[in-house]
Amino acid sequence: MKKRGNITRRTLISVFFTVVILIVSISVSTGFQLRNVLIEKYSAFALTYVKAAAEFIDGDTIEHYVATGQKDAYYEEIDKYLNATADSSADDANIEYFYILIPGEEEFIYIWDAEPDEEPMDLLETYPYSEGAKEQAEKIFNKEIKEDAQYYVDAENGTPTLTVSVPLLDSADNVVAIIAADLSVRGINSALGTILIGILIPVAGIMLLTMVLYYYVTKKGIIQPIVKLQRATEEIVENLESEKSPTIDIHTNDEIELLAESFVDMTGKLRDYISQNAAITAEKERIGAELELATRIQADMLPNIFPAFPERDDFDIYASMTPAKEVGGDFYDFFLVDDTRLAMVVADVSGKGVPAALFMMMCKILIQNQVMSGKSPAEALEAVNNQICSNNREEMFITVWLGVLDLETGLLTASNAGHEKPMLLMPGGEFEMYKDRHGFVIGGMEGVKYKEYQIQLEPGAKLFAYTDGVPEATSESDELFGTDRTLAALNSVKDCAPDVILHKTKEAVDSFVGNAPQFDDLTMLCIEYIGKQPEEDAQEEKNEITIDNEVGEISKVIDYVAALVEKLPFPMKVQNQIEVAIDEIMSNIVHYAYGDRKGKATVRVESDEKGITLTVTDSGIPYDPLKKEDPDITLSAEERGIGGYGIFIVKKVMDELHYKYVNGKNILTMRKNFTE
């Protein structure tokens, strides 16, 4: 268990630090104010000296001293006066330097310098400006200010120093020099210390006494009642299943007492809530289990095993339905009416959830029954519409696209009851929206007549039917996926098998939607019409063999190729190499080309006067084996790892290898020439 703090200790610490912060704040604030007052007094004191000197000294003599650089009796008299003034100042505010100077371009020019403790500057001796000194001197010399006082701490000895200065005027009232004095104010720090100690000791005592009193009141009036509440809460939690009502003995006549009463009242309500919540949870679990069962039933109602017709090679079909809730109102269906006709349905029920799912199941059964009875798509929709309208008190409706494909001729007969327009791809082209005529929705009005249309599908043609959950999928910025993006997604994988087309389209929708919630059920169906395949005897005439993607079929291909190669002038070693190469390629196709679904592969053998050509074709996922990087045979077996040698062997034993992907098929061509 995580260790908690102690409210008593935290309160005591917070009060202590509050007192310390207040004492420090008072000390700093008082210190600054006292220091400013003392500096003002020292400044006024020093200014009386320099102003008296400005009245005493004859400013007209300055020009003579600057011009001649010669001292005279008057100069000596003023020098004694300045030194005597400096010596007479108080110890705690001693004038260390009393001087008269003229600001030059780059430095001060000294006229007089009274320094009792050091060697003074001589007449016209110069001294460089310190930072900011030139600007202040020029302000006085130009009569911008009448006097100046600057406080600083000497960088060499750390002594607090105050410099004051006033202008020295001649008889024409012109400024001819500056009279300044440096005043050592060591007494400021000691004075501040004495005053602060006298103030802060009683303040600190009062605050500490207040802290103790505050802590006592807080502990008795707040902390102890809170501790009682905490203990009572633990008792309530431990005895929630008991019917005994807790008692909390708190009498503070304030909000804490009201809180204690609320705790007692809350206990009874909490017990009632727990009881009700347990019943609700049990009910939710029951409903959840029923919804899960309904989801499984609905999924089982739709064709969901692929390949759906593994024995048929004249078409390839795939479909999917992703509900927006546990169960959905969309559905798809496909079934063989007879050996030569395939029926396909994509529909969307109004609404979502359980009611839509129940309505969907009923409509699916009705449509299948009508089609299996021999009715055309339009006749089947008319019959289903009348059946639903005869007893549709909930006024639900459904949009339906229904098509029946003649697998021998490729003729598709379809009818549309208010559903989305299908998208069609003809061989060599791209997916485009097929603008069929819509009829009214099923269940909207009794007696509606539906029209049907026909499309002639050529081998290699593909049809994509869907619900509005695809184009109306909404992104986080409330933008629709739309038909343009749907067509773009389809055409990006137009040469792939139907299952790949649907998976990639779903990925495009999911990427567009992002983290936005799914708005509607998403249902898609795609069929590729392949047409009737040539018979086995025709395959033999063309020197080719077609097998299913099963491990046991590989030996058939090897035996077939070996029988043809034996008739050609290849040495036994080369014959074995060709058999190894075809074995490796067919193993890759059987194990990886189709994933979990069924598929086929064809091997065509052609020979000429120079050698033999083997062409291997499959309709699996696009894969170029020639792009696979060769293993580094210079490494040890442990370093190389397992795998990657099959294609490498094929590259080594065959003279030529070419790969291309055309019309949804992987085509690998291998060439082996006769040895000269």
**Gyration radius from the chain CA atoms:** 52
The answer to whether residue 224 is domain-embedded is no
Peptide bond preceding 307 in cis form (omega within 30 of 0): yes
Q: Which of 190, 221, 254 represents a domain boundary (last residue)?
A: 190
Average pLDDT, the chain: 82
One domain for residues 367 and 390: yes
Q: Assign 204 a pLDDT band (cuts: 50, 70, 90).
A: confident
Mean pLDDT, range 40-48, rounded to an integer: 80
Q: Which helix (H) or strand (E) holds 287?
A: helix 255-301
Q: Which of 529, 557, 588 represents a domain boundary (last residue)?
A: 529
* Residue type at position 392: N
One domain for residues 629 and 603: yes
CA dihedral 498, 502, 507, 509 (to 10 degrees): 140
One domain for residues 87 and 120: yes
Q: Assign 244 a pLDDT band (cuts: 50, 70, 90).
A: low
% pLDDT > 90, the chain = 33
The answer to whether residue 557 is domain-embedded is yes
How many residues would you count in the chain?
676
One domain for residues 371 and 266: no
pLDDT at 536: 46
Q: Which range is most confident: 83-87, 253-257, 450-454, 569-573?
A: 450-454
CA 325 – CA 322 distance, rounded (Å): 9
CATH code of the domain covering residue 589: 3.30.565.10
One domain for residues 325 and 387: yes
SS3 49: helix
Q: Which range is most confident: 87-101, 173-187, 248-262, 413-427?
A: 413-427
Q: Assign 88 a pLDDT band (cuts: 50, 70, 90).
A: low
Q: 73-77, 200-204, 242-246, 574-578 — which is least confidently predicted?
A: 242-246
Given a cut of 60, is residue 535 above it in pLDDT?
no
The answer to whether residue 587 is domain-embedded is yes
Given a cut of 90, is residue 632 above it in pLDDT?
no
One domain for residues 520 and 541: no
Question: 401: which residues sit within 8 A by CB, 6+ positions away?
Answer: 345, 346, 347, 414, 415, 416, 417, 419, 420, 422, 465
Q: Assign 673 a pLDDT band (cuts: 50, 70, 90).
A: very high
Residues 427, 430, 431: CA angle, nearest 5 degrees: 110
Tokens 């695809």 belong to which residue? 470
User: pLDDT tens digits, residue range 367-406?
Assistant: 999 999 999 999 999 999 999 998 888 788 999 999 999 9
One domain for residues 112 and 182: yes
Q: Assign 292 a pLDDT band (cuts: 50, 70, 90).
A: low
The answer to whether residue 200 is domain-embedded is no
User: pLDDT tens digits, residue range 602-627?
Assistant: 999 999 889 999 999 999 999 888 88
One domain for residues 176 and 318: no
- Higher model confidence: residue 38 or residue 50? 50
Given a cut of 90, is residue 48 above it in pLDDT?
no
Q: Which helix (H) or strand (E) holds 454?
A: strand 452-456
pLDDT at 25: 79
Phi, psi for 450 (deg, rounded to 5)? -110, 145
User: pLDDT tens digits, residue range 499-519?
Assistant: 999 999 999 999 999 888 877
pLDDT at 50: 85
The answer to whether residue 218 is domain-embedded is no
CATH code of the domain covering residue 88: 3.30.450.20
The answer to whether residue 257 is domain-embedded is yes
CA 132 from centre of chain:
54
The answer to whether residue 560 is domain-embedded is yes
One domain for residues 442 and 521: yes
One domain for residues 497 and 576: no
What are the DSSP calls for 242-254, one per residue? S-PPP------SS
One domain for residues 431 and 571: no
Q: Which helix (H) or strand (E) holds 165?
A: strand 160-169
One domain for residues 140 and 277: no
Instruction: State the SS3 of 501-567.
Output: HHHHHHHHHHHHHCCCCCCCCEEEEEEEECCCCCCHHHHHHCCEEEEECCHHHHHHHHHHHHHHHCC
8 Å CB contact between 407 and 461: no
Q: Which of 529, 546, 567 represents a domain boundary (last residue)?
A: 529
Q: Which residues constitute the domain of residue 394?
A: 312-529
pLDDT at 64: 86
8 Å CB contact between 355 and 394: yes
The answer to whether residue 225 is domain-embedded is no
8 Å CB contact between 604 and 575: no
Q: How many C-beta neighbours within 10 Å does residue 393 have?
A: 5
Q: Name the domain count of the chain.
A: 4
Please give the model's pTM, rounded to 2 decimal places. Answer: 0.45
Q: Of 462, 410, 401, 460, which is closest to residue 436 (Cα–Cα)?
A: 401
